[in-house]
Amino acid sequence: MTSPVRGDLFDPECPTRRLLDRIGTKWTSMVVKVLAEAAPHEVRFAELRRRIPGVSQKMLSVTLHSLVRDGLAVRRVEPTVPPRVHYRLTELGLSLEVPLAALRIWAEEHMARIDHANAISDAGSAAGG
């Protein structure tokens, strides 16, 4: 039988790589976070836009549709005029929030050290040059 993906992390189809391709897109992690905080309630498109400063309506739309396509979120349209569109995470999307939250914690605790290391590196190359 074919073995599970356990040992194939360096396969071109490496699941980790493909996951990072998704959550690495600029707005995905923020959208997931907002939806996760609101769960199990839905969030309207306009509300998401307000909660994520800087996101354009295009990229928010693209990001949300990617999440839906990946089965991480669901979309519900009220066929009114004007339309109202709501999003919420699926169970799968909520499960992704767990490791994503761990990553956020790490970032909050350690990014300052990365910044510091960069500053040292800059100063060192400036002095050395």
Partner DNA sequence: CCGGATCCGGGGCGATACTG
Partner DNA sequence: CAGTATCGCCCCGGATCCGG
In the complex, minimum distance from the CB of residue 110 to a copy of itself, in angstroms, rounded to a whole number: 6
Partner whose binding site includes residue 119, from DNA, a copy of itself, none (CB under 5 to 8 Å by kind): none
The one of a copy of itself, DNA, none whose footprint includes residue 51, by CB under 5 to 8 A per kind, is: a copy of itself
Closer residue to DNA in complex, CB, 48/97: 48
Contact with DNA (CB under 7 A): which of 8, 16, 18, 56?
A: 56
Let me know: does 64 contact 73? Beta carbons within 8 Å.
yes
The verdict on 61 binding DNA (CB under 7 A) reads yes
Place of tokens 């994520």: 52
Q: Is 82 left (phi over 0), alpha (psi -120 to 50) or beta?
A: beta
- Picked from a copy of itself, DNA, none, the partner binding residue 40 (CB below 5 to 8 A depending on kind) is none
Q: How far is the CB of 56 from DNA (least distance, A)?
A: 4
- Residue 25, classified by CB atoms within 10 Å of its CB into exposed (0-12), middle (13-18) or buried (19+), is middle
Q: How much helix, strand and coil, in percent to the nearest 5, is found in the chain?
A: 65, 10, 25
